[in-house]
Structure 1
């Protein structure tokens, strides 16, 4: 038996909730609620539906995880009792971008889906202090006021950063809430909270005491404008194909790159010379040797001899080393170990000294004659001028090269020898590699397994110190005894007192005689982020939260930080907790614009999520960009590019799309791809999809309002029509598809299945079919069955849709007019979808019926194609003739009434005896041809054939031209190289569709 509105479990739940907080008579409540469930606004408005004041989860503890709650695993055993997840903490440098929105949306979809299936979910929010990024942004902001951090001093500068953090953390929180993220805000974490700082110290001290952290003087990536070392992820490489000028902070004019300079070294006490090729003549001052290949016969007689330095009163040796490429440049390489990794390795092998030339500020070091104190690139020009005067500059040639720049400051990155702290990663790399090989750790997609292996095989130690003012100060102390100040040691400790106790044992003296100085450097942000999965849950105190929620069930993040973050979480988690922090990692692609270009401020193509949700005019877009520039967040060059790109991409601004549409669009691309293209047009299309759902439910409400109680009560499953059973069969397919898709993280397949069911099958097909029963004399029994079918399908499909579109789903579900208990069991909230009768639902799958229905739909589609091709109006009385296989003919007769209704025709015949040349024909498929004839005057019947043929030929010509245009576009050399992949794909799809249409038109001409 199917339920009436006031009998359904959901209705009774609403009734209980209202009556428990009101003194209104229960009968009055029942009448009021029944009306409430049926009333739905005429127009869909995303801003109204997504109004922050109406979000149920913003005013309740609905998503709060209860540690003390007893958790029972879901019945089918496929879903975990507890699903633990942590949002990758966004930097407190500013607002969220689309990349953050993608990560948060994917995690939210999974969390909501787990709740639907009975899992208890803890999704932990947090923000990252982002050492370099935040310091740079705040310094730019202060620079607009002509203030530097040095003027403020350490304490006041940090106060400014904490103010910045407080302001932006609130913005980020609101953005996540507006995105619908179902986070447990009671557990929010900041990576510099007191508990986090304690965890960072604990991690450092443990690793140091185990001999895994050490101090060494090595080459590091150095940003002179930041006065700090930076990680590889903060280095952007610019490919210079031809000589070009690049703006460098601190220089009034751009600096030229992309040239190779050939410089002669004279052999000491001989008339010979050896010519070296270099792109960095300013480092000539620090040369300690010239290297050639042992087998290079050009220089074999010079190996072992010495060369006169052009400027400094010294000689340097000619050495042989197999690493030198004989075919590169002149085959002779100047060795400057203080500023080049290859040179450093050669110097290590040959025991050559290290002569630093450039200091931390980008100036020439002291001790280099009149060059000392010069800016490095100014010194380059002076050195080239003087080499030319000395007749030692042999040539200047264009040269392809890669110029490393600091992504934070835009500065040219230098390699400088500096004492830094390192983590010995050899053992941890081996464990991380083994986890992949054994399957204990799974990367999704598994294409990253090979890259993971290659990266870990390189086995480099990790530089974890940064020369910043913002971050976790390294808990390492240089200690010495007041009795022997010449001997100092480094210890890791929680504070100075702890350091004195530790060092006193090593130095064999009393703690009172120890003097300690803490290192001024701070830790690399990735270090505190690396322990985040367990530190955020209370480690190392072993609290109940840590024991219950660690390891995490899953990690979701962008593939671009696989090794900077994911790998380090694996390393530190395994080493410090004895277990992997998670067993599965979903690595999603990087958000690109509609043209396939990666979004970045330097390209001016960044789209902010809030602008897509709320809509924004071009003038306001420009205004926001100028405000960012005024606050120092955007450079002059970035502002110019942004204004230009905004005008190009959004001449009319960005239309209001809403959160549901944004979320759905982000999930509609294959997130496992390396790059994910985001198009505002698609987002707006998904807003129209929301409207389609809204209007279809309003139709269902009106449909049900016409029914009497007796008709609803008498409905039974066995009386459902073929159309009803077809839709329920498609519903069964939808459930299978969504579950399988999300299990494999194929979000795009799930969204496509939902759209296929709700948009095409329920709205475009089923609702059009049931209109046949809405005639002047109402068929109450059929309409009641249709109403229950619609209710069942909305109840299930909207719950499956709710993880993707939570706002509209939660708005519409209470307005479903009839509940179908055979499909859905209701729990405390609409978050819980338990297809407890899943076997019953799956039994509705009827493959034969679906095949029949496809034949029927193909007939209707073909009839409509004929009408469109020959411009036949719906009010023209027509008859349909079908020439097909016996099986298809049987289907046509079985669905005769429906075909005539949807085909706007009055007669249907199968067979070929009545077919003649005056009929309009169209091939439906290989085994079926559909004909249409009009029941009009004899004169029109005779002349119709020629007129129709002219229309057909006209359309044929139009399709041929369109296809030829696309073929010309795709055949050009530039299309395959320059056109974005999604454009190439969509163009091929259009060509395929045109060829299919051309084929049909040709067959029917």
Structure 2
């Protein structure tokens, strides 16, 4: 225990936050071991990108996890929080390529694969730990001894194991299908990596001439540049307008190639013209039609979305440049009928925002239907539960409508696909080994140049981080993990992939609960983004206000699944709360003579002691119950109310006379109660505000090295004093009512006045006479059963179970008070007249900005309300 009297005068988190964190790490408090005498509690961190730096979404996510892990650690669990980072294939490669281009004028191809990957690893060593160090600044109590990286040896081993197992089961296959292609990142994307946004576009209506005829059909398209890849025009077989056309040939505009008219039920007769261009290489629906009708697949774009040789004279143009040029040519040739405005959903790359191209491509896929059903069943059976429950709908929607997962990426940074090809005989071998020899012709085989989707490795995170596929002691003890804490925006990216991967490879769900939180938005409710420039750096908040203030703000604003708005004013309020705790604790410490933390003999407790102990006991129960339900915001709100109102504003004030009077025999009891309640309240608050609670706890009498490994408080039936609580709260309500009445009459606290309490519960109120004198500015407090002896002009206040009287002549000088009230009345009438004069002036109302006019109206209303109150007070005073 540090010297209680040596606690700093002012709350300055910069003086102790880093110091305490380093001590926690050095003493190994964050480390969890397999301990058969304890229950395990495990969280795996949603691995932030190795390229990243801490943003407010991370800060929220990590704060919520840290609250849970610190809570369970104090409850006696072997609490493991596994940290780590994701290699972030696309984002990292783009970052390093950009540095190469800007600083050296080179591309990755100039270096070659091996040298380029050396550069990426160098970059990772230099910058990859940045976000981890930032997580430490906000107090994250991760087990840093177990830090993982999605491309470390163990995780890479797991990736190969999974790929080979799924391939051997026929659940991974290679095929040519329509995929989402990002022309900027130059790679395939999965459906989950494509964000759809409403965009204003057009429908171009184009004539397709019928061969050997002067007639034509009209098709409407939003992507005319794909016309060069058309291999048919489709109509609905039930569409009477086009029955005679089926089987005939059309001449493709600008190209001259002949394409057939086919009948397919895919076509909606009521949409557009009823004729649909079929481009199997550039549209997923057209691809399926093409498969049914054995149509050719003509890919008309290069990887960077420039047009290829199939586009003829438009070859080399960007897709939108081509669109503009060909529309002009169609118009010149009389083939453009009309252009209609049309808004539609357009897919964009979630990394760079570029509009994706649906393109036919040979890629590796995971067959999803067999994997999706067990993941659906696990949630429906309750093996894994979502908090809040309604997010199950998002999860089910994705899994029930899922298409096969495109897992190959045209990148160099990432887990390389463990497939090998023989260029001589065409044999394919999938193996966990780093090289392969052709089993047929004995030649050295060439490894697939592509890498796996980053989410393929992070899907294995809950079990790969614990040593799977090896049967480790940690895997057996800590898995399945207890809870996943994550945002609703990555349910399709990550949550469902972890679920089906875990069930397939471990036979168990990866976590028992999925605790979903919302996004942190700016004060206007907008999503924080670089483009809006509205992001707030959590570390700047920490530097200015302290980590505890940031954490408190994020936790109090959190309700499961809901977005929250971030206001600096809320951070300032959080800092004020920390300051309140500091000052109350310092007052307590400066008035302590006791050197041990224990409850006094319950028979020695005074009324206010029983009240605070009961209220404390209640808050132990409510905080614990709400943490168990993941209602972290409610838990903290209950704790805030207890600390600010019950402990600081009431109890400390109630016991000051006992502390200051060294002759008072109940003084020691008050010290023990103060110490017990404060130290245990710091324990309750510790998961939310770890630094200030540790610093205060170290100055209080305690056992053990650190608050973070102390025992979590438990509800104690013997600390229930319901009758005493009722009595104390009657007294407190009366004191508050007296204070309010005096404030209404502008009586300063220094002005003492007699208080007469008329009640049937004389025993209750007689216990509080000293409190009325201390907290209600009473010169004396008299408790009686009737109104005898009370002057007619006494001010009365009605409270539960009592009526309180204050002699008016002791409160105010009636003459002076009437003078003051009449002066106030005159002043307000003048203000009202001035405002009404302005508002009745047509020139002012017409010329002044509406905001100014509205402000004047608001002032007028406020003055009228104030005048009404003053008039009531004058009337009341005159009648006394």
Write out aligned runs for 1:773-922 (5 A): 773=658, 778-816=662-700, 818=701, 826-827=703-704, 829-834=706-711, 838=714, 841-880=716-755, 886=760, 891-908=764-781, 918=793, 920=795
Q: In 2 relative to 1, CA 1002–154 (structure 1 residues): closer, same or farther, beyond 3 Å?
A: farther
- Please, which moves more after superposition, 805-814 or 363-372? 363-372
Deviation at residue 555 of structure 1 after TM alignment? 1.8
2:431 is matched with which residue? 493
CA contact (8 A) 1:870 1:951 kept: no
Secondary structure of 2:128 counterpart: helix
Are 1:611 and 2:611 counterparts? no
What corresponds to 2:391 in structure 1?
448
Alignment of 1:567-582 (within 5 A): 567-582=496-511
1:468 partner SS: coil
Mapping 1:560-959, distance limit 5 Å: 560-614=489-543, 656-705=544-593, 716-773=601-658, 778-816=662-700, 818=701, 826-827=703-704, 829-834=706-711, 838=714, 841-880=716-755, 886=760, 891-908=764-781, 918=793, 920=795, 932-936=806-810, 940-941=813-814, 944=817
Tell me the secondary structure at the aligned position of residue 402 of structure 1.
Answer: strand
Mapped partners of 1:478, 1:956: distance in 2 = 93
Question: Out of 412, 417, 425, which is 2:355 matched to?
Answer: 412
- Cα distance change of structure 1 residues 148 and 712 upon mapping to structure 2, 3 Å threshold: closer
What is the CA–CA distance in structure 1 between the aligned matches of 2:781 and 2:829, rounded to whole Å?
A: 28
* Structure 1 residue 284: Cα displacement: 1.4
Counterpart CA distance in 2 for 1:784 and 1:557 is 48
Question: After superposition, where does 1:364-513 map in structure 2 within 5 Å?
Answer: 364-479=307-422, 485=425, 488-495=426-433, 499-500=436-437, 504=439, 509=440, 513=442
Structure 1 residue 834: deviation in Å?
Answer: 3.2
User: Given the superposition, is the C-alpha separation of residues 712 and 394 from structure 1 closer, same or farther in structure 2, using an over 3 Å criterion?
Assistant: closer
C-alpha separation in 1, matches of 2:495 and 2:581: 39
Cα 1:806–1:943, aligned 2, differ >3 Å: closer, same or farther? closer
Q: Which residue of 2 aligns with 1:127?
A: 85
**Offset of residue 937 of structure 1:** 9.3
Residue correspondence of structure 1 range 159-308 to structure 2 within 5 A = 159-240=118-199, 242=200, 258-308=201-251
On the 8 A contact 1:219/1:416 being kept in 2, the answer is yes
Q: Deviations over 1:167-223 (max 9, x none)?
A: 222222221222211222221111111222222111111111111110011111111
- The 8 Å contact of residues 50 and 129 in structure 2, kept in 1 or not, is answered as no
Compared CA separation, residues 903 and 489, structure 1 to 2 (3 A): same
Q: Displacement, 1:301?
A: 4.7
Please give the alpha-carbon distance, in whole angstroms, between the structure 2 residues aligned to 1:668 and 1:731. 20
What do the CA deviations read for 1:601-634 (whole angstroms, capped 9, x no partner)?
Answer: 12222222211101xxxxxxxxxxxxxxxxxxxx
Q: Deviations over 1:661-719 (max 9, x none)?
A: 111222112341231222222122212211111111111122225x8x9x999963211
- The alpha carbon displacement at 1:740 in A equals 0.4
Shift in Å, 1:315? 2.8
Name the CA distance, whole Å, in 1 between partners of 2:217 and 2:791: 94
Q: Contact (CA 8 Å) 2:226, 2:300: kept in 1 or not?
A: yes
1:914 Cα deviation (Å)?
Answer: 6.8
Quick one: distance in 2 between partners of 1:935 and 1:109? 55
Relative to structure 1, is the Cα distance of residues 717 and 956 closer, same or farther in structure 2, using a 3 angstrom cutoff? farther
Q: Which moved more, 1:850-859 or 1:562-571?
A: 850-859
Q: Alpha carbons of 1:315 and 1:737: their partners in 2 closer, same or farther (altered >3 Å)? A: same
Q: Indicate if the aligned counterparts of 1:52 and 1:178 stay in contact, CA closer than 8 A.
A: no
Determine which of 74, 92, 99 is the counterpart of 1:116. Answer: 74
Question: Alpha carbons of 1:552 and 1:700: their partners in 2 closer, same or farther (altered >3 Å)?
Answer: same
TM-score, normalised to structure 1, is: 0.78
Deviation of 1:295 (Å): 4.7
Distance 2:409 2:32 in 1: 37
Unaligned residue ranges in structure 2 (runs of 5+): 832-864
SS of 2:481's partner is: coil
Could you say what the CA RMSD is over the residues aligned between the two structures, in angstroms?
A: 3.3
Over 3 Å counting, the alpha-carbon distance change for 1:165 and 1:897 in structure 2 is: same
Aligned to 2:37: 72
Deviation at 1:424, TM superposition (A): 1.2
Shift of 1:735: 0.7
Rate the CA distance shift 1:132–1:796 in 2: closer, same or farther, 3 A: same
Give how far 1:493 is off: 0.7
The CA deviation at 1:162 is: 1.3
Q: 1:570 and 1:54, CA in 2 relative to 1: closer, same or farther beyond 3 A?
A: closer
SS at match of 2:129: helix
Counterpart CA distance in 2 for 1:954 and 1:848 is 50
CA gap 1:323/1:866 in 2 versus in 1, 3 angstroms: farther
Deviation for aligned residue 1:383: 0.6
The answer to whether structure 1 residue 47 and structure 2 residue 14 are counterparts is yes
Can you list the C-alpha shifts for 1:543-600, whole angstroms capped at 9, x where unaligned?
A: 3333332222222222211122121112111111222222222122222222221122
Secondary structure of 1:398's partner?
strand
Distance change (3 Å), C-alpha of 1:781 and 1:360: same
CA 1:393–1:274 in structure 2 vs 1: closer, same or farther (change >3 Å)?
Answer: same
Q: Is the CA contact 1:918–1:941 (under 8 Å) kept in the aligned structure 2?
A: no
Q: Which residue of 2 aligns with 1:330?
A: 273
1:373 Cα deviation from its structure 2 partner: 2.4
Matched, 1:156 2:94: no
Could you tell me whether the CA contact under 8 Å between 2:192 and 2:492 is conserved in 1? no
**8 Å Cα contact 1:477-1:491 kept in structure 2:** yes
Offset at residue 129 of structure 1 (A)? 0.5
The correspondence for 1:101, drawn from 35, 56, 59, is 59
Query: How far 1:421 sits from its partner (Å)?
Result: 0.5
C-alpha distance in structure 1 between counterparts of 2:446 and 2:403, whole Å: 29
Aligned residue in 1 for 2:45 = 87
Shift of 1:734: 1.2
1:827-874 superposed Cα distances (whole Å, 9 cap, x missing partner): 5643344368x46x3321233333333333222222222233232211
Between the aligned partners of 1:1001 and 1:287, the Cα distance in structure 2 is 84
Q: Distance in 2 between matches of 1:439 and 1:313?
A: 60
Q: Are 1:869 and 1:952, in contact at CA under 8 Å, matched by a contact in 2?
A: no
> More displaced, 469-478 or 312-321?
312-321
Asked whether the 8 Å contact 2:694–2:708 carries over to 1, the reply is: no
State the 1:394 CA deviation.
1.6
The Cα of 1:471 is off from its aligned counterpart by 0.5
Q: CA deviation at 1:351?
A: 3.3
Partner residue of 1:18? none
SS across alignment from 1:766: helix
CA apart distance, 1:917: 7.6
For structure 1, the 5+ residue unaligned runs are: 1-10, 12-32, 74-80, 243-257, 615-655, 820-825, 959-994
Report if aligned partners of 1:712, 1:784 keep a CA contact under 8 Å in 2: no
Q: Which residue of 1 aligns with 2:834?
A: none
Residues 224, 360 of structure 1: 8 Å contact kept: yes
- State whether residues 723 and 769 of structure 1, in contact with CA within 8 Å, keep that contact through their aligned partners in structure 2: yes
**Residue 543 in structure 1 maps to residue 490 in structure 2:** no
**Cα pair distance change 1:561/1:410, threshold 3 Å:** closer
